[in-house]
Amino acid sequence: MNKNIRNIIRGMFFVAFFSLWLSGNAQSWGRLLLLGLLVTPIWGRLYCGFACPISSTIDLIGYFKPWRPTSKKHKEIFFDNKVRLITLLASLALLITFIKTKFPVPFFVALIPIGLVFTYLFGEAAWHRNCFIGTIYSLLGGISRKGYYIQNDLCLSCGKCEKICPSGCLEIKPTGVNNIDNKHCLICGKCQNVCPDENIVYGSLKNTKTKAVQKAFFD
Residues that bind ligand SF4 (CB under 6 A): 148, 150, 155-161, 164-167, 169-170, 172, 180, 185-191, 194-197, 199-200
Q: Taking a C-beta distance cutoff of 8 angstroms, is the pair 80, 126 a contact? A: no
Write the CB contacts of 61 (distance below 8 Å, at least 6 apart in sequence): 67, 116
Q: Taking a C-beta distance cutoff of 8 angstroms, is the pair 213, 157 a contact? A: no
Of 133 and 187, the one with the shorter C-beta distance to ligand SF4 is: 187
Of 1 and 12, the one with the shorter C-beta distance to ligand SF4 is: 1
Compute the least distance from the CB of residue 22 to ligand SF4, in Å. 30
Compute the least distance from the CB of residue 108 to ligand SF4, in Å. 21
**Running DSSP on this structure, what letter comes out for residue 200?**
E
Compute the least distance from the CB of residue 207 to ligand SF4, in Å. 18
Compute the least distance from the CB of residue 43 to ligand SF4, in Å. 12
Of 107 and 181, the one with the shorter C-beta distance to ligand SF4 is: 181
Neighbours of 90 (CB within 10 A): 12
Of 58 and 195, the one with the shorter C-beta distance to ligand SF4 is: 195
Burial environment of residue 165 by CB neighbours within 10 A (0 to 12, 13 to 18, 19 or more): buried
Residue closest to 131 by CA, chosen among 147, 118, 149: 118
